[in-house]
Amino acid sequence: MAKPSPSYSGSKQLIALGKTIRAIRQENALSQEALADEIGIDRSYMGGIERGEHNVAVMNLTKIAKTLKIKTSELLAAAGL
């Protein structure tokens, strides 16, 4: 299991992004596991993203947005970033 980012875990930006991802995922009636499977990451890592523990790589962020049927820029804007 991936450990939280030692430098960025809990930052307000990652927490905002994680909350936004969770809200949009739930609006799309996707489980955390289904989203993680679709983008090719472990469910527990997805949970860490939603809790603001992981500094998400651009490629993973792009995959998340695509699966949630939203542009990456729109996802970031919705999170206030």
Between the alpha carbon of residue 18 and those of residues 21, 44, 51, 60, the distances in Å are 5, 13, 6, 13
CATH 1.10.260.40 given to domain 12-78? yes
Task: Give residue 44's pLDDT.
Answer: 94
Domain map (residue ranges) of the chain = 12-78
Q: What is the pLDDT of residues 5-52, one digit of tens each?
A: 666 778 899 999 999 999 999 999 999 999 999 999 999 999 999 999
Task: Give residue 1's pLDDT.
Answer: 59
36: how many CB neighbours lie within 10 A of its CB?
A: 20
